[in-house]
Structure 1
């Protein structure tokens, strides 16, 4: 009997070891891990440069508290600000913490409390980040949320314009909704969003927790929409599995996070900074990002071609190595069938398969995943009395 709270619907796989894009269970079975810790292990499992950085830091300093000047914090903050539109960084331990900090920063900086976020969004499970999340299933059972959030549909500029007023502190968005079904913002909506925030003098917060650190083929996904957010939130891929989150903010927000206004005991600790610096040194190379773009487009094209005649498929969509396959029926059994064949993938809602390969996955591994998915779809169609060419 487990002593754990049953907060997760665990798979029947005991993960013991990881090597690159592979996860290995207690029986020695190898899985192609296209979950990547839910967009966390962007450099795959046990990346040698991240491992070396952490091993060196373990023998130097684990923790000293944020009362001290820590060189690693300055190095990582410098990398993040040099490669973004932001000027200052706050470090924490997770995406939910980063989003919680972003909400506080926006409210304090503007003196306003109302916020607009998107239907089907996901921003975390703390009270504030859960309130920003536009999904009823995340809210159920926890009582009153922060009442100042209004939710509007993605890519509905009219609804956005109606919701944002002069009393709005910030609009809080993902440019690709991960948990919400791998749904992409369109450029027309992005342009309307930027213009509206400027017109109404409200902040733009972009949650890059799942989309950031190279996942979509650029450092941050919002770069591909020519957006310039006031606040960017990060986590997941930033530490490649070591817990770390960050908030990047523009210079005009500096005075709102003065000493004593916010904090995190473990945020920015030397171990997390060692991991994050090693990740950024690798991922933020132009050649690395270009490779992700090329592989992402190839993978999307291969999936579209393989599944074009499959009656189960509604749409294949994605950006970089963040891909969704929307189906006409619930996908839980399809995901289980892929797992049995050695491919680990996820759901994003009842009818969407979410695929998050490590950014270091080879073209051969991407093709292997396509072949497994096509095989599973074909078997499902046979069960349903149809066929796939």
Structure 2
């Protein structure tokens, strides 16, 4: 018989009842060091007191009114995002998938608004993950994502990851947009070089093409900058944000320049829950903490410490690991085989990690993980690796 919860996930045999910072506590009381953070979501750890206070205060005031009315908490968070980014305007969603759908709609509506509705082709890259809606899977285009779901939304062309020459060969003044992740998450923690990202921006400028960045996983301080594209010194026209922006509360957003958003007038998009007072109250507190320069400097310092210790782990287990890659606290251990066994071995050592494509183990801890917890994490990964070596 089918389970009461639709069986679309291969779930681990673990259930958690509470959390404390970098630790998740299972229903049997076992404490697990959490290097997944809900897949880069819990940027300030579990049960962060600042976020609990923000949510509790808002919960005692008002939860939901819908976007029929002005929402002060939404306006506060939008102001914070505009102040700290390239954007002129923000639309709030509940998830990264919803942000991807709006980003695609915004591109198409932009060109329709410009009087060129046939300019719809969006260039994307293999290994990408933009969510699981019909538009998002069409953008990614991988067999795993699209098989069995019938005709796909037209207007997407996938290119080899990081192949600038392939992009040069196809981008024209008829291309609607280029859509990419500065660092692929599900694709295996694969960063795009800063020089390549600058070249893509230049190609978009030359052809009048919109640049859309998906920073759902690599944004919100994860890389040591508020957003990963800042390292390249460029700005997108449209950007998708989610995961870390709510610190664990469901929240996403699309950020855009005034020009890119010109076609999105009243009635062109909407959301019942998007930007609700609860989510935005939490999101504003996350922004106040994570966007601080001192906080981001600490992320970078901890990332250097973590990376140094991981290099030692790789040297100790050359049969299992090839390299460490990524930026900030968005790190990947490139393995010599699929990392599923290592993830399971980690459960025995009471540590949580996240597998990804390209034989990569993702390490996405809370951004406020302590030095001592970093050392403990590597020690537990070492024991998990020893069990596989044996």
- 1:255 shift after superposition: 2.6
Question: CA contact under 8 A between 1:90 and 1:247: conserved in structure 2?
Answer: yes
RMSD: 1.2
Question: CA contact under 8 A between 1:176 and 1:211: conserved in structure 2?
Answer: yes
User: What residue in structure 2 maps to residue 42 of structure 1?
Assistant: 43
Question: CA contact under 8 A between 1:119 and 1:154: conserved in structure 2?
Answer: yes
CA distance in 2, matches of 1:45, 1:58: 18
User: What residue in structure 2 maps to residue 176 of structure 1?
Assistant: 183
- 1:203 shift after superposition: 0.3
User: What residue in structure 2 maps to residue 307 of structure 1?
Assistant: 314
User: What residue in structure 2 maps to residue 97 of structure 1?
Assistant: 98
Question: CA contact under 8 A between 2:339 and 2:355: conserved in structure 1?
Answer: yes
CA distance in 1, matches of 2:389, 2:345: 13
User: What residue in structure 2 maps to residue 283 of structure 1?
Assistant: 290
Q: Does structure 1 residue 215 correspond to structure 2 residue 222? A: yes
Alignment of 1:239-254 (within 5 A): 239-254=246-261
Question: CA contact under 8 A between 1:292 and 1:359: conserved in structure 2?
Answer: yes
Residue number among 371, 375, 389 corresponding to 1:363 in the alignment: 371
The SS at the match of 1:63 is coil
Name the count of aligned residue pairs.
Answer: 382
Question: CA contact under 8 A between 1:100 and 1:126: conserved in structure 2?
Answer: yes
CA distance in 1, matches of 2:260, 2:159: 26
User: What residue in structure 2 maps to residue 337 of structure 1?
Assistant: 345
The SS at the match of 1:79 is helix
Question: CA contact under 8 A between 1:152 and 1:163: conserved in structure 2?
Answer: no
- 1:254 shift after superposition: 3.6
CA distance in 1, matches of 2:141, 2:42: 26
User: What residue in structure 1 maps to residue 115 of structure 2?
Assistant: none
Alignment of 1:264-275 (within 5 A): 264-275=271-282
- 1:94 shift after superposition: 0.4
Residue number among 252, 261, 264 corresponding to 1:257 in the alignment: 264
- Structure 1's unaligned 5+ residue stretches are 383-389
- 1:360 shift after superposition: 1.0
User: What residue in structure 1 maps to residue 63 of structure 2?
Assistant: 62
CA distance in 2, matches of 1:166, 1:122: 26
User: What residue in structure 2 maps to residue 24 of structure 1?
Assistant: 25
Question: CA contact under 8 A between 1:31 and 1:344: conserved in structure 2?
Answer: yes
Alignment of 1:193-232 (within 5 A): 193-232=200-239
- 1:134 shift after superposition: 4.0
Q: Does structure 1 residue 166 correspond to structure 2 residue 167? A: no
Q: Does structure 1 residue 353 correspond to structure 2 residue 366? A: no
1:291-348 deviation per Cα after TM superposition (whole angstroms, max 9, x unaligned): 0011112111210122124222122111000111111112111110011101100100
TM-score (normalizing by structure 1): 0.96
User: What residue in structure 1 maps to residue 11 of structure 2?
Assistant: 10
CA distance in 1, matches of 2:260, 2:165: 29
CA distance in 1, matches of 2:358, 2:295: 33
User: What residue in structure 2 maps to residue 237 of structure 1?
Assistant: 244
1:130-173 deviation per Cα after TM superposition (whole angstroms, max 9, x unaligned): 11114221111111212211111222110111121222111001
User: What residue in structure 1 maps to residue 124 of structure 2?
Assistant: 117
Question: CA contact under 8 A between 2:188 and 2:358: conserved in structure 1?
Answer: no
User: What residue in structure 1 maps to residue 326 of structure 2?
Assistant: 318
CA distance in 2, matches of 1:213, 1:341: 29
- 1:350 shift after superposition: 6.1
Question: Which stretches of structure 1, 4 residues or more, deviate above 6 A after TM superposition?
Answer: none
